[in-house]
Each structure stands twice: as C-alpha cells, then as structure tokens.
Structure 1
C-alpha cells in the first residue's frame, strides 16, 4: 500500500536483514561465476600471452585447479 511504512522496528529490521542476506548471496554467486570464467580464460591463453604477463603454464594449471569458491580477495 502506498505510504505504508514499517510499524515496528523489528519488522523493518527483519525485512532489511532478509534483503541483505539475499543480495549478499546473489553477489557471492556472481563473484564465483566470474572467478570460474576468469580461470577458464586464463587457462586458454597461449604460451606467448602467458609469457607477456609473466606466468608459466604450471602457474595457470595451479590456478585453474582451484575450486570456484576459493576467492583470493575474500581472505
């Protein structure tokens, strides 16, 4: 209903918490998808491209074997 706000602090807080939980979960899933995609793209680089960025094929293999949820930025 238009103009209807929260009547109780607890009610507003629970909605906000629920929304924040789902936004966080969706954000995490999107981050995991991006990590998996980046690791696939990294693994598909040519040896010449890897040399340009200073990585070896062994470095790439090690990175590509990491699980999608292993996020180096979350530590």
Structure 2
C-alpha cells in the first residue's frame, strides 16, 4: 500500500514461523516416543506375548534415548 515500507528485517523473519513449527513438531514427537516406550515397558509378559514382543526387546527399546526415532519423523 502507498506509504507502507517493507523493512529488510521483515523478510528475514518470515521463515521463523516454519522453524518454530518444526521444533514444536520435533518436541511433540520426542514426547510421543518417550510415552510409547514407557507404556511398552509397563505391559505384562502376557500382553507382550500377545503382540509378539519379548521382554528383552522391550528392555532394548526402553533404554533408547528419546530423540532416537526409528521412523525419523
């Protein structure tokens, strides 16, 4: 519009919303992985047998760091 000026900083900050959104998605995914691993560890041996997972598999999965995402999401 007439009389409005665009400042160089305005263009520079335009991509920051995308970065923030990506970070929020990443943190959300890390929390989801943490919760899933906790839930898996809390299952009974019978429930694990039903889904075809051994207690050793659960132990291996539960010690993985929260940022270790096997799906790379």
**TM-score, shorter chain, exceeding 0.5:** yes
Higher relative contact order (CA 8 A, sep 6+): 2
* TM-score (normalised: structure 1): 0.81
User: Can you list the C-alpha shifts for 1:11-63, whole angstroms capped at 9, x where unaligned?
Assistant: 34x33310000000010000000000000000000000000000000000000
Unaligned runs of 5+ in 1: 1-5
Q: How does 1:41-56 map to 2 (within 5 A)?
A: 41-56=39-54
Unaligned runs of 5+ in 2: none
RMSD: 2.2
Q: Which residue of 2 aligns with 1:11?
A: 10
* TM-score (normalised: structure 2): 0.83
Segments of 4+ moved more than 2 angstroms: none
